[in-house]
Homo-oligomer: A and B are copies of this chain.
Amino acid sequence: MIERLAIIGVGLIGGSFARALRERGLVGEVIGCGRNETNLRRAVELGVIDRYTFDPAVAATHADVVMVAVTLGATGEVLARVAPVLQPMAVVTDVGSTKAGVLALAREALGSRFTQFVPGHPIAGGERSGVEAALATLYERHRVILTPAPETSATAVSRVQQLWEAVGARVSVMDAQHHDEVLAATSHLPHMLAYSLVDCLVGMSDSGEILDYAAGGFRDFTRIASSNPEMWRDIALQNRVALATMCERFEVTFRYLRSALEQGDGSSLLQLFERAKAARDAYLTRSAKS
């Protein structure tokens, strides 16, 4: 049970967290914090938060749990504002898509309060955003990865883990570096490929006509190229080392494919396609079961 929850950044992710806890009766008061008053007012109307402030320090004062759900670019600043007012037993957590960078920022911004910070990443979301889209069920059966540092308080980790589990998520704990490598592979690289594909087509002289003949496969494949550009710039930069390594690794496979193609080597192409199809079909079976 949380007496006072501070949600810094009341959008889809922060709003859904508040809603999910509230619907399960796990939270007393919810204070929202953001910069857009229309959005904060709407969050009050929707019952996602009880009241709001524009100041992260005001929101965090007397809060037992502070959820930071702002962009990666704003996280350091928010943590620095929150640090001086943090209760000794309070926990702070975040939802950023990269974790090593957030840990470094938090270590600097929080100082002696750093042990109370539990970096987290709920693997959920989608194309919709904003508090209007917030759902009490968003995290059910979704994965959340926590990436504590060696000095992070074990009590704080277990507190945050319990909250995520209470709203239906499946929680894993891993090293921040490993998180960033895993996400570079499954999320960040696919986004780079989708953005690159669309940008590559845009650059062609007959791009308008070309897109007219795109079918459903193209729509699905490029869905993630409609994601927020600023958010993805921040993610790419924050995770640039792991992501650049994955990009290189992808280029090796892709060059192998192109070379098989140029040589008319049907059996190498078939093997690659079969391996990929088998792996994706197995992944679908696993994820449908879990």
Q: Separation in Å of the A204 CB from the closest CB of chain B? A: 7
Contact of A186 among B210, B273, B277, B283 (CB under 8 A): B210
Residues of A in contact with B, size category: 35 or more
A34-42, A106-114, A245-253 - interface stretch: A245-253
Q: Separation in Å of the A141 CB from the closest CB of chain B? A: 12
Q: Identify which of residues 210-241 in chain A touch chain B, using a CB-to-CB cut-off of 8 Å.
A: 210-227, 229-230, 232-233, 236-237, 240
Is A249 in contact with B215, judged by CB distance below 8 angstroms?
no
Asked if A46 is at the interface of the complex by the 8 Å CB criterion, the answer is no
Is B266 in contact with A196, judged by CB distance below 8 angstroms?
no
Taken residue by residue from 253 to 290, chain A's Cβ proximity to chain B (1 for < 8 Å, 0 otherwise) reads as 11101100110101001101111110111011011000
Q: Is the interface of A mostly helix, strand, loop or mixed?
A: helix
Asked if A135 is at the interface of the complex by the 8 Å CB criterion, the answer is no
Is B197 in contact with A190, judged by CB distance below 8 angstroms?
yes
Task: Identify the closest chain B residue to A250 (Cβ).
Answer: B200
Asked if A31 is at the interface of the complex by the 8 Å CB criterion, the answer is no
Instruction: Report chain B residues within 8 Å CB of A213.
Output: 123, 143, 145, 172, 182-183, 186
